[in-house]
Amino acid sequence: MTFERLVAIRRALHQIPEPGFHEFKTQNMILSELSQMDLTNKLEIKRWESGLFVKIPGSNPEKTIGYRADIDGLPMKEETGLSFASTHEEMMHACGHDFHMTIALGLIAKLLTHNLKNDVVVIFQPAEEGPGGALPILKSEEFKPFRPDEIYSLHIAPELETGVVSTKPGTLFANTSELFIDLKGTGGHAAYPHLTEDMAVAASHFVTQLQSIVARNVAPLDSAVVTIGKMTAGTKQNIIADSARIEGTIRTLSDETMNDIKSRIEGIMAGIEASFRCTASLDYGSNYCQVYNNDPLTSEFMRHIQDQRTAKLHEADIAMTGEDFGYFLRDIPGMMCWLGVDSLTGLHTPTLNPNETALETGVNVFTEWILFRDEHE
């Protein structure tokens, strides 16, 4: 597949970002691309929800090598001004999943030109941004015939220059949990606060107290994040709010710290209920486990990059980002890496604009790696 074709596919996918488990236009576009490259009907393709499992059968398989690409977009308005900007209002591929899908398609096209000994399975996974597609895939009956013995993936890195691949053995990304808290009190007229239980005030105290958790309940040499990204309360400046909603995220490097933070949040919530004579409910939403790279496979991948020189290798630092690819790595040996795309703005921003020359880097790196793994146990 030529670079020009990769760019055309990426731009077409970029225009149709869709929410998790609703990526049906995306699914159909991927199927169309697969049909054009699968001229000998070699591929085995299975729809799963709004995603796909694609198998390239080997000539004498002793194992299955897996590769995963996520396919959903984010609910945000694009502000890039690009000629191929999103045509779906308030949706954008602001996390690079258009790149991820395109690289996976380029990888399939290249592997089809080789005589593989082992099976290769490429997973086009829905709902990575939420509510999470990896865990349901792993639990599904449809996945069993496609389940790989080892699995790999990449994620674009705006801050890294194009041509760079960055990874490390062990923990790469954090454990993550969403956080949704609803407070219910008694509203009323702003002139009679003594007759109310003000949930704007209660929510403000709650958010302030949450900031003490990392500072005073997490060991100084450990790492954790509790971030509140959204807080809503009230309807008008002279009406005391009878309800408030707090939305945020928790990120830790260990399961134990995640459990400790959740316990502390629940303790603070009980105190808020008592202090402000209100009721509170809590929902942890989607929870993703850490991305933990298999040590032998990751070390071998890093040596392979240096030997083949398909990219510049950087050793990564641990990031507090979340990725549900961690569920695959919890069950199946494998690895994830960063792919440099040299964007002036970062992930989850409305102006993310990755360098498209990274598409070829991603395809070449993982084609060579899978061919190498095809020849080695």
Please tell me which residue in 18, 70, 242, 260 is annotated as part of the active site.
70
Of 133, 141, 106, which Cα lies nearest the Cα of 122? 106
Separation CA 363–CA 79 (nearest Å): 28
Q: Is 70 a catalytic residue?
A: yes
Per the CB < 8 A criterion, the answer to whether 73 and 80 are in contact is no
How far apart, in Å, do the first and last CA atoms of the chain sit?
A: 28
Q: How many CA atoms lie within 13 A of 375 on its CB side?
A: 7
How far apart, in Å, are the Cα atoms of 55 and each of 59, 61, 365? Answer: 13, 12, 19
Backbone angles phi, psi at 171, to 5 degrees: -65, 125
Give exposure, 6-17, as e/b (b: 16+ Cβ within 10 Å). bbebbbbbbbbb
Q: Is 129 a catalytic residue?
A: yes
Separation CA 342–CA 58 (nearest Å): 36
User: Cis peptide leading into 131, omega within 30 of 0?
Assistant: yes
Measured in whole angstroms, the distance separating CA 343 from the mean position of its chain's CA atoms is: 18
Please tell me which residue in 98, 128, 129, 323 is annotated as part of the active site.
129
Residues acting as catalytic residues: 70, 129
